[in-house]
Structure 1
Amino acid sequence: MIRRPDWQSRLSAYIVDCAHRPFRYGELDCGLFVAGAIETMTGIDVAGELRGKYRFRREAFAAIRALCGQPTMAAIADHLAAQFGIEPIAPTFASRGDAVQLRSGQRASLGIVDLHSHHLLTPYSAGLLRLPMSHAVRAWRI
């Protein structure tokens, strides 16, 4: 996967656009937020098979199960990474624009590394939540 030459300014505009939008399944949930960031940086929509398929948590995880066999964020992340040739990296090597998984198990979520490589960003009820890099348990180079 290759980033566009102007990926940094595109990602910055995307983050600003999402900054105060609330978390909503099927609109701006953690998976679609990360997929939107990837599309912004590369022009490739990794979530095309999921967009428009759900509006609620239960529907989201049913769509994920139908696509990759397991209803977890880790499973869909692994599935899409394999499908699109996205390489996993150690979370300590994640830098701006890279995708990350926060937490493990049923409460796992996805996010991206901010443009300063200081925080992780993920959608939350009042907009984007900034978390320390130490919250990443897995990462992928975009």
Structure 2
Amino acid sequence: GGTAHAFYLGVEGSVPAIPGMKPPLHALCVAPFGIDEGAQAQPCPNAFGLVVGESVRFRFFRSSTRRQDAVGTLLSTWDPGELSELPSLEAVLPAEGRTPGEVVTVRLQSRVTEVGTLEVEALPQGDDKPWRLTFDVRGP
């Protein structure tokens, strides 16, 4: 059983801002190939900054060929056809006591639900409530 794909979130590389140039896009594995529905993946070892209180676009990818990638694998390059982009998700992560526009350090943890969605939780440091993003991963 398990999923027929590995799933990735697009994350921007941390480079100095250059006017007119987009930062490089990396793909972070958040759910490995073959994860069972209802199972929770290991928390991602990498920490990331998320902007709260403002609209943020999350790019989402899947791969049926990269079967060896574990949670936390960060791809800076990939071959054409290795990853396919799925519909992105726009969301406003509630500031909840923080300043809108503040960057919060989080770790990501995902789980595949029984109804075929991938839930990615952004776990802030400390005991703050996590933010949850839900992607539909069923389909062709």
Q: What is the TM-score when the length of structure 2 is the normalising length?
A: 0.29
Which structure carries more strand by proportion?
Answer: 2
Decide which structure has the larger Cα Rg and report it. Answer: 2
Which structure carries more helix by proportion?
Answer: 1
